[in-house]
Amino acid sequence: DGKIRFLCMNLQKRTCVISLSDLHKFHKLDQSILFTGHREILNAYYRHLFHMVKFVVYSKVFNRPEKFKFLKILRAQMTDEEQTLLFFNWRSGYGKEWENEENKFFTEYKMIHNIELKDFQYSKEGKIYNSENDLYKEFPNLAEENRDKMFEFVERNKKRNG
């Protein structure tokens, strides 16, 4: 039917249906389409999360290994679905500060480490991301040597196949 169904799109696990062509235009989507019925809650949630991450990353109190440790603990509190929604929030442009020239909260600090390709369900029209390489295209500043470490499913597949 040319639609993609996301089971992770809202807090009650109901299905949100969006056309594949609309998903390829994230920057033009109204955030209310992606976060149907929960925008008020999710906006506050991701705003607070962003400021916690920013505080840790730019803190002069913590050294680099401590920053990674604290952010890993914070990320562990997030479900895979929350991390997937965070990715969509960033990709839609509303959470653009998560990953840009100044902030590398995804590529360096792995705040979306636990998203999976299977979380991007698809219809007969096609997949949004066919492989991790398609996901990497979203992060042009990601160094080649860091690609295998960005997403947990890639690390897991490498161990399994390697």
| pLDDT in single tens digits along all 162 residues of the chain | 333 344 334 344 444 444 444 544 444 444 445 555 556 667 788 899 999 999 999 999 999 999 999 999 999 999 888 888 888 888 877 789 999 999 999 999 999 988 877 666 544 455 567 777 777 888 888 888 888 788 887 666 667 776
**pLDDT at res. 155:** 67
**pLDDT at res. 36:** 56
User: Quick one: how far is CA 65 from the chain centroid?
Assistant: 22
**pLDDT at res. 26:** 46
Sequential DSSP letters for 124-144:
TTB-S-SSHHHHHTT-TT--G
**pLDDT at res. 35:** 55
Spatial distance between the Cα atoms of 100 and 102, rounded to a whole number of angstroms: 5
Report CA-CA distances (Å) from 73 to 35, 105, 109, 110, 133.
25, 14, 12, 12, 27
Spatial distance between the Cα atoms of 61 and 123, rounded to a whole number of angstroms: 48
**Residue 18 dihedral angles phi and psi, to the nearest 5°:** -135, 140
